[in-house]
Amino acid sequence: MKYIKIFSRILVGMVFVFSGFIKGIDPLGYTYKIHDYFIAFKMSWLNPIAFYLAILFCVLEFVLGVALIFRIKPKLSSTILLLFMSFFTLLTLYLALKNPVSDCGCFGDFLVISNWQTFYKNVILMIFTLIIFFTRNSYKTPKSSFYQFSISFLGLVVILGIIIYCFRHLPIIDSLPWKKGNNIRQLVIPTPEVAKIFLVYKNKTTGEIKEYPSDNYPWKDSVWVANWQFVDQRKDIIKPFIQAPIHDFTINDEYKDDYTADYINKPGYQLIMVAFDITKTNKEAFKKAALIYNGCLNDSLSFITLTGSTYQNILAFTKDIPVAYPIYNTDETALKTVIRSNPGLILIKDGIVIEKWHYNDFPEYAKLKEKFLK
């Protein structure tokens, strides 16, 4: 029993530390997931506090995990753990049964698992949680209150530092489809379905039923055609259709003309600035981008901006901050999976992502050219 208790405490603690960390490095991504929950449960009026809830959950999970690993306040931490796991086990059961959101987001975009897998994971963790809770009085806590406070405070500082850094820059681990090194040209192509089609025919006289492969049946035999009638078809799926990792991504101008292939397949280097909501974007970054665009213009380098905002909002924005580079429209949700910054900057070469910048880190064109444009 001694080793079961130790294993339970360490395992659950490590899962909570990992979960808090992996969501903490992408606070905006976790915020978008909470938005999905609010929409699914018709609570969109809570969207303004989604970011703060995201931070709260990340901090709670990480610090609770640290407390379990280091045996900090076991009675308090085990009680909070039981309440936490009870709520989320019931929630994930509902998600598995009703599927209001595609995945729970418990490990962010780093590890996407189905709602049923999430529920089973929580059931297993709940078993260990009950062991921790019912043996909480037997855990020996470090005698020094200062030690317990120091460990807890250090855990709090670490996770808040990670969250703040990744919010002001970019996630230190990029799990998005547009991460550095990915070939966007390949990721926009879905995997087609591979299937065998069988045609079902019925003999008009005897009522006999026969199946024929769609690529091999006697359709040229006039006698056969006169005696057999098509009634149905059957499909044996060999390989199912798999949606492309990057989908619903289009680049359209104000007239709805599609330029997606033109830019995705453009040879050489190009810079793409992403501002998923131009009404809430950082305006100073657009001024920095104008200087980068001037350098691109001198070197005949493509520079465009993509936004999910309407062209009415684009026109209103460009009255205050004139821009010379083209601005195209793309689905806002799709742009949120490109870069966690509004705006953000991406350097692509032959469809491959070379570098990404948060608006706080937009480079001077001369330095960008010296380091990347070789």
DSSP codes, 283-297 = HHHHHHHHHHHHHHH
Let me know whether 156 and 9 are in one domain: yes
Asked if 144 and 108 sit in the same domain, the reply is yes
pLDDT tens per residue across span 288-321:
999 999 999 998 899 999 999 999 999 999 888 8
30-39, 48-57, 95-104, 168-177 — which is least confidently predicted? 95-104
Rounded to whole angstroms, the Cα distance separating 273 from 344 reads 6
Radius of gyration over alpha carbons of the chain, in Å?
28
Within the chain, strands assigned E span 194-203, 209-213, 228-239, 269-275, 302-307, 327-329, 344-349, 352-358
Evaluate whether residue 249 is within a structural domain. Answer: no
Residues 124 and 38 sit within 8 Å (Cβ to Cβ): no
- 9/157 same-domain check: yes
Report yes or no on 232 lying in a domain. Answer: yes
Residues in the chain: 374
The answer to whether residues 24 and 92 belong to one domain is yes
Do 287 and 234 share a structural domain?
A: no
Confirm whether 334 is domain-assigned.
Answer: yes
Is 28 among the domain residues?
Answer: yes
99 with 22, same domain: the answer is yes
Helix residue ranges per DSSP H, 99-231? 115-134, 145-168, 184-187, 222-227
Residues 235 and 265 in one domain: no
Task: Examine the domain organization and report whether 265 and 228 are in the same domain.
Answer: no
- Is residue 359 very low, low, confident or very high in pLDDT (cuts 50, 70, 90)? very high
Asked whether residue 287 is domain-assigned, the answer is: yes
Domain total of the chain: 3
Torsion of CA 277, 282, 287, 289, to 10 degrees: -60
Q: Does one domain contain both 116 and 227?
A: no
The pLDDT tens digits for 254-264 are: 889 999 989 99
Domain assignment of residue 177, yes or no: no
Same domain, 216 and 286: no
- On whether both 28 and 119 belong to a single domain, the answer is yes
Structural domain range at position 365: 260-372
pTM reported for the whole predicted model = 0.86
Using CA atoms, how far residue 64 sits from 17, 127, 159, 285, 363, in Å, is: 8, 17, 12, 38, 39
Residue 324 identity (one-letter amino acid):
A
